[in-house]
Amino acid sequence: MSHPNAALTPRHRLKVARLVVDDGWPISEVAARFQVSWPTVKRWVDRHLAGESMQDRSSRPKTSPKKTPKAVSMRCVSLRRRLREGPVQLATRLGIAASTVHRILTAARLNRLSYLDRATGEPIRAYEHPYPGSLVHVDVKKFGNIPDGGGWRYVGRRQGERNRSATPDKLKSKWGNPKLGYAFMHTIIDDHSRIAYTEVHDDETAITAVGVLHRAVAWFAERGVTTERILSDNGGAYRSFLWRDTCEALAITPKRTRPYRPQTNGKVERFHRTMADGWAYARCYQSEQERRDALKTWLHHYNQHRPHTACGNQPPFSRLTNVPDRYT
């Protein structure tokens, strides 16, 4: 393929060469007609006579005597994974320039430490299933309930404690402080489209998790998504016989992550972080009920309006077709 500033495309290069070789045009007249230089026409004529391609030749040199040895590059990558050091430190160990180390790490996609798993040192491998419903992720995230009058994040520690003590109808701890409890967010998110379904409950038992699964599967089905597999962590609800039997009844294959490996379920974990910033702690709620009432609006914005980098800066619903209420 010709470079962006080329005056002639490969097809016109062949036409130029044939005008000179086959039709007998003078090189100067062909150069004037196509508004290129005389040497340019001569070059493509010579290549046509030699039977060569009209495509651009590679600009890579035939030999690179000062190229970094492969063994040095492999050792650089190995040290980066094991020691997590920067180009300056690695350059001292390897006896090469820091810029060379940076070039090697960039080519291996290791120039940022965030590309490496902190526990194993291996590159983080992103994956995405080919169509909606092929795999969904499920997880539970708990947020502390907000006392009446606002939580400490916005009103401060002292006023937050006063609001907590003044919240009625709450159980007391052995020290006499009210136990506000937690809001358990049961989330199921599609691997391909990143469309999320979330419910708020007061527990994370297997019965609650199964109820959420039933409603989520029906919700996805209304939007043309058939759930085939579901990936969870090793929580008690997802290791229960009730969860197993429910997945079997719904024709869903249950899968679990490796213990102590939450990165495998990273899509739903990242959604919970987004939800914490965009909804749970986004503003000063005057009560827990006010925050829960705002969830539906925020979830609609996330699914149908908020740009998602994994979806090409389009909303998750953009990956579905012919779904109701898509443009509302």
Sign (positive or negative) of CA dihedral 49, 54, 58, 59: positive
Task: Calculate the average pLDDT of the chain.
Answer: 89
Confidence class for position 105, pLDDT limits 50, 70, 90: very high
Helix (H, G, I), strand (E, B) or coil at 314: strand
Sheet hosting strand 253-256, strand order edge to edge = 196-201, 182-190, 136-144, 229-232, 253-256
Confidence class for position 233, pLDDT limits 50, 70, 90: very high
Q: What is the pTM of this model?
A: 0.66
Tokens of 212: 């959420």
pLDDT of residue 327: 58
Give dist(CA 44, CA 29) in Å, integer.
15
Domain ranges of the chain: 10-49, 70-115, 136-145+181-319
Helix (H, G, I), strand (E, B) or coil at 90: helix
- pLDDT tens for each residue of 154-198: 888 888 888 887 777 776 666 666 778 899 999 999 999 999 999
Structure letter (DSSP) for residue 217: H
DSSP state string for 145-212: PPPTT--HHHH-HHHHHHHHHH-SS-EE-TTS-EE--EEEEEEEEETTT--EEEEEES---HHHHHHH
CATH 3.30.930.10 is right for the domain spanning 136-145+181-319: no
pLDDT of residue 164: 81
Give dist(CA 305, CA 162) in Å, integer.
38
- pLDDT tens for each residue of 125-156: 778 899 999 999 999 999 999 888 888 888 88
Confidence class for position 58, pLDDT limits 50, 70, 90: confident
pLDDT of residue 163: 82
